[in-house]
Structures are given as C-alpha cells and as structure tokens.
Structure 1
Amino acid sequence: MAIEVGNVLEGRVTGVKPFGAFVALPEGKSGMVHISEVSNEYVQDINTVLHDGDAVKVQVINIAPDGKIALSIKRLLPPAPRQPRSDRGPRPGGPRQNGPREGGHFGNSRGGGRPPREGGRGPARDAAPRVWQPKAPAKSDNLSFEDMMSRFKSQSEEKMADLDHETNNRRGGGYAPRSRRGR
C-alpha cells in the first residue's frame, strides 16, 4: 500500500526529540510527528507522552516534495470536550476592554472621550454596503461649457467626499491625505 496523505498507518516510534517524534512506517519509510500533533492537550515535554519503541497509530498529513512525511496522532483522537462559555472562568486580565487602559481617553468613566453611539455598535455586518448612486442629471437647457464644467466638478467633489468618508470609516477613522485637506 502506497503512503498517501490521509492514510492511517501503524508505526513504531524510533526516536524522540524536543520538537517531535520519528516513526517507522511500513515499506521501510519513516515520518515525523511534530509535538503539536501529538495530543489535543498542550504538551510541554514530548518525553512524557511518547517513548522509543511505542506502537502508534498515525495519519499522514503531508508529504513534502523532498520525501519528508508529516504525521499526526492527534487527528485520530476524539476531540477534547469543551466547557460551555458560561462555565468558563474569567479571561486572563479581567474583562475585555476596548481602547487604551489607564489614562486613555475612551475607556474611562471620567466623562472624557467620545460619547457612545446611539443604537448599539453601529450597522450590522451583514447589512449591504453603501454604494454611491448618481443623482438624476439636471436638465441641460443649453448650458454653457463653464456651467457644465462647474456641475461636473461639484459632482466629482461629492463622489470624492463620499469615497473618503467610506474609506476612513473602514480604516477606523484617521485623517485625509494632504492633497484632500482644506477643500
């Protein structure tokens, strides 16, 4: 049987290093199980989990062009049970805070910073993005070239202002580039 990605094979540990374990496979080939692919739990020292001569069941997860075979033991284990969110303890460092801490201007309760937005945290993510729509063209009852040019310029500036506004909102605010300031 040829060794292919996804195959599950029986092997024997032939060497254990701090970064992983080497496993002898059928057909005289060998592969390596990286320390991150040994267990569903964090493994500080691989020597506590695997030893030379251990029989292991592994899954082939990659075969490099140079012939190196990457293996996993963890992918054949049942997934570790997860605690429901409500039962988990507090996050390290306390509750999540947005913005700077200690002395920052928009995380404090001293009245500084921006006022909170009305209606929650803003538009829903799945709401359709705003797209610039052209206004209905005004009648051009024999306008002069200068009048048409003036209208074109004002429409162009409206488009650019809308574009700048949308771009700055996506970037989280900020300043307009120098070429756009003061118009």
Structure 2
Amino acid sequence: MEPQVGSILEGKVTSIMKFGAFVALEGGGSGLVHISEIANTFVEDVHDHLQTGQAVKVLVLSAENGRVNLSIKKALPQQERRAPRPPRSPRPAPGPQGGPRPAAASGSVPPQFQGRGRPEPLPPSGDQAFEDKLKRFLSSSEGKMADLNRSMDGKRGRRRR
C-alpha cells in the first residue's frame, strides 16, 4: 500500500547516495529524499546532514508506480523551515525620475579605467562596490573580445589591401 501524499511519517535512513537518501518507512515500503529536500540550507554532501540508521520525520511528496518521493525539510515545523536570511545591503537611491542615477562625469573616472588597454588590477577588497566590480569585468571582457576578434581575423584569411 502506497503512503498518502501529504502525510508525515517516521522512517529510518537505510542508505545514503550522493543525490539523496533512501528511507524505510514505518508500516513498510521505502522512499527517496532528494538532496534538495534534506535541509533548508545548501547540501553539498548528504553525509553532513544524515547518517545510516538515523530516525527521521518525512513528508510524502508523491507516490506513483511504487516510487515514493519524500521531504525532510517540509516535515519540519513552520518556524524551523525558514532559514534566516542575511541582511540586505542598502540600495542606492533612484535618480530624479525614479530611474537609475545618471552616470558620473567623464572627469571623475578612476585612473585604472582611463585610457586604452586593460585596467590595472584593483587590490582585493571585501568592501569593493558591485559597480566597481562590474566596470572592471566589462573593461577586461571588452579587451579579451578585441584580442579574440583580432586573432580570429587572421585565421579567417582576411587580408589587408
């Protein structure tokens, strides 16, 4: 007899695979707890969260053709389900019409972004703003694309006349 979808059952972990864990259910039968249904946090290794023989409460997600899909994280009480989120960093204020702020004047460009060529590498900093990282990435990727296009022109047989 297949378990009822939506019911919470007790079970014991019988085996652990890299994609999840198999659980023997009370009353017979077994099911799979996929790695994404083990915990509210990222699960890199199932062994960090479960051991063989461990008793667990599981929620039956689906039961079709003898395959039973289970969830440990959805069987938790509501308070325990929600993982604490890190506080968000404040966003910059929008421009006068509600859109993004206008770009800075050309005279205020940092020295590593002035002129041609690739920018000088910035010192590593955990406090570096996202915009600075994005500018650095765009600048370096444009330089790489220019180099790639130059090398591909030679391979395509284009010649100067």
Find the counterpart in structure 1 of residue 27 from structure 2.
27
Find the counterpart in structure 2 of residue 16 from structure 1.
16
TM-score, length-scaled by structure 2? 0.53
Aligned ranges for residues 7-156 of structure 1 at < 5 Å?
7-64=7-64, 66-77=65-76, 78=80, 79-86=82-89, 94-95=130-131, 101-102=138-139
Would you identify which runs of 4 or more consecutive aligned residues in structure 1 move more than 2 Å?
Answer: 92-97, 100-105
SS of 1:43's equivalent in the other structure is coil
- Tell me the C-alpha RMSD between the 2 structures: 3.1
Structure-2 change in CA distance of 1:81 and 1:103 (3 Å): closer
Deviation at 1:21, TM superposition (A): 0.5
User: Which of these two proteins has the greater Rg computed from alpha carbons?
Assistant: 1
Identify the structure with the greater strand proportion: 2
Question: Which consecutive unaligned segments of at least 5 residues does structure 2 have?
Answer: 91-125, 143-161
TM-score, length-scaled by structure 1? 0.47
Question: Which consecutive unaligned segments of at least 5 residues does structure 1 have?
Answer: 106-183
- 1:41, 1:5 → 2: CA distance? 24
Matching residue's letter, 1:82: R
Q: Deviations over 1:32-80 (max 9, x none)?
A: 101111111111111121111100000011122x220000011123210
Structure-2 change in CA distance of 1:25 and 1:101 (3 Å): same
**Relative contact order (C-alpha < 8 Å, sep 6+): which is higher?**
2
Matching residue's letter, 2:130: G
